[in-house]
Structure 1
Amino acid sequence: MHKPILRQLMLAVLPLLLMLLPALVQAQDMTVLSVRDADGGQDYSVKLQILLLMTALSLIPGMLMVLTSFTRIVIVLAILRQALGLQQSPPNRVLIGIALMLTLLIMRPVWQDIYQNAFKPYQAEEMTLEQALVRAEQPLRQFMLAQTRENELHQVLLIAKEPTTMAAADVPLDVLIPAFVLSELTTAFQIGFMLFLPFLIIDMVVASVLMSMGMMMLSPLIISLPFKLMIFVLADGWSMVAGTLAATFGASP
């Protein structure tokens, strides 16, 4: 009985609020989208900068996957878990945590460059927000270009209908990012294949032994899993995988 009455009251009050909103905004000086000229470019109001910062914070998970080494690391760890024959151990949260920590370590030089040459000058009001963003883009671009393959970059340039003879420094960021992600996927599957081979050999040997003994009803995975875990632990597999992943990005293991 009360729901129709509340709905009618809301429909009656909503237009009034919409009419009063501009007056309230003007009265309290809540100008958000204001841009002023500054030396060497344009600067934005503090409220607009806060709005841009909050928007950027909501995009951090997506930026983490397409701008850093996170994608390659988490895919390799997932393939390694599958090669060991483990379904839920380590759990997905643990793999994501390991990938995140390795990403922070591998990307540390990039973060330090952005902090020293973009964030600190902007915080000291030595450059505008636009200049700081342009400066912060440079180390990320260098990192992505170093990891991007020529085939993937060529394919994305064709998709974007850009000249394929374009110099690497002139490649637009919206073209470089998908090329970088495709290159990361290719490299991750190549590393995963190399990790899968020794465990596949163990499975084949155990299956051959069981067939020769006539125990065809016994699953080879049940017998091979302890051997794979033992070999992986004795070889200090987790440290080797982390060092190999760091070395693929040019970081010292």
Structure 2
Amino acid sequence: MNKTLKSPNSAKSKYLYILFLATISLLTSSHPSWAVGLPNITLGLEDADSPEKVSAALQILFVLTIISVAPAIVLMMTCFTRIVIVLGFVRQAMGTQNMPPNQIVIGFALFLTFFIMSPTINKINDTALQPYLAKEISQGKALDLTVFSMREFMFSQVQESELSFMAELTIEKEPKDKADIPTTTLIPAYMLSELKTAFSMGFMVYIPFLVIDMIVASVLMSMGMMMLPPVIISMPFKLLLFILVDGWTLIVGSLVKSFG
């Protein structure tokens, strides 16, 4: 009964919808000016009218590429690697597991990186960025000055053994000065040097906490409490030692001074 009542209305609405579409199509075909306001979306490549358009497009592409590789630049060409590795060793040596959390460790390492790299950043701003924005130098010259400042920082921190090792692997002739060493050789050598220095500092951080673990383990064994994990007892003593010697200040001071 309900279906027989609803079928005329549904058929009527269907006919009205078809009539409406037909009217719109007839109006737009007979009067093209009425369809001027309708949007038109196109996607494709067009010919550039001037070299400025090509230059602007290439600059945008270059900026997007720099933004995409920015994390790799921070990791490989700054002091971030050494700082975050040493802070990770400190957390593991104390046995606090996820305290402080990873977000705090990485954020702290990032701001320490900005602090230590501030002379290099200011030099890049003064010699490359500001003259480029003032249209005093070209984009290529600004890029060369930026790379030169970063190379100076890496040369000041890289160890000679790692630099010689990478130069033997990648350069056929023996380099006479720093200019003969390409950046593609300097960056891996700098990373090897940073890893070596960070692990050396991590070893020095581990020693006092290891002594506490050994003392606590010896005391527990002498008392016959061999089933009790020494880490549970030694962790409060580690925290107490770290607080008494102002450990975070010592760690940060050692990290900053290690970069000269």
> Is the structural similarity TM-score above 0.5?
yes
Instruction: State which of 44, 49, 53 in structure 2 corresponds to 1:21.
Output: 44
Residues 154 and 164 of structure 1 are in contact (CA less than 8 Å); yes or no, is this contact kept in structure 2?
Answer: no
> Amino acid of the residue matched to residue 83 of structure 1?
A
Q: Structure 2: state its 5+ residue gaps.
A: 1-40
**Structure 1 outlier segments of 4+, above 3 Å:** 28-34
- Pick which of 212-221 and 99-108 moved more: 212-221
- What whole-Å deviation, never above 9, does each CA across 1:132-173 have from its counterpart, x for those lacking one? 011111221111001111111111112213334432232100
After superposition, residues 146-225 of structure 1 pair within 5 angstroms as 146-225=156-235
* C-alpha deviation, 1:89, in angstroms: 1.0
Instruction: Work out which of the residue numbers 83, 92, 98 in structure 2 matches 1:82.
Output: 92
C-alpha deviation, 1:82, in angstroms: 0.7
Residues 165 and 30 of structure 1, relative CA distance in 2, 3 Å threshold = closer
User: Superposed, which structure 2 residues align to 1:137-152 within 5 Å?
Assistant: 137-152=147-162
Distance 2:110 2:49 in 1: 42
Over the aligned positions, Cα root-mean-square deviation in angstroms equals 1.9
Q: Whole-Å Cα distance in 2 between the matches of residues 48 and 188 of structure 1?
A: 39
Please say which structure displays the higher CA radius of gyration: 2
Unaligned runs of 5+ in 1: 1-16, 35-44
Q: Which shifted more, 105-114 or 153-162?
A: 153-162
What's the secondary structure of 1:21's corresponding residue?
A: coil
Shift of 1:31: 6.6
Letter of the structure 2 residue corresponding to residue 201 of structure 1: V
User: Is the contact made by 2:175 and 2:181 (CA closer than 8 Å) also made in structure 1?
Assistant: no
Partner of 1:94: 104
In the alignment, is the contact (CA less than 8 A) between 2:80 and 2:110 conserved in 1? yes
- Of 227, 237, 246, the residue aligned with 2:247 is 237
* Per-residue deviation, 1:47: 2.3
CA separation in 2, counterparts of 1:57 and 1:192?
32
After superposition, what is the alpha-carbon deviation per residue over 1:83-108, rounded to whole angstroms, capped at 9, x for unaligned?
00121111111110010000000000
Give me the identity figure in percent: 48
- SS of aligned partner of 2:44: helix
Equivalent residue number for residue 9 of structure 2? none
| CA deviation map 1:55-96 (0-9, x unaligned) | 101111000000100000000011111100121111111110
One-letter amino acid matched to 2:127: N
Q: Which region of structure 1 is more displaced relative to structure 2, 187-196 or 131-140?
A: 131-140
Aligned to 1:67: 77
Alpha-carbon distance in 2 for matches of 1:190, 1:33: 52
Alpha-carbon distance between aligned partners in 2 of 1:99 and 1:180, rounded to the nearest angstrom: 18
The alpha-carbon deviation at position 54 of structure 1 amounts to: 1.4
- 1:248 equivalent in alignment to 2:220: no
Partner of 1:6: none
Q: CA deviation at 1:49?
A: 1.3
Q: Which residue does the alignment assign to 1:48?
A: 58
Q: Distance in 1 between matches of 2:52 and 2:85?
A: 41
TM-score (norm: length of structure 2): 0.80
49-58 vs 159-168, which moves further? 159-168
Alpha-carbon contact 1:74-1:99 (below 8 Å) kept: yes
2:131 to 121, 146, 156: 121
- What is aligned with 2:4? none
Quote how far apart the aligned CAs of 1:32 are: 8.3
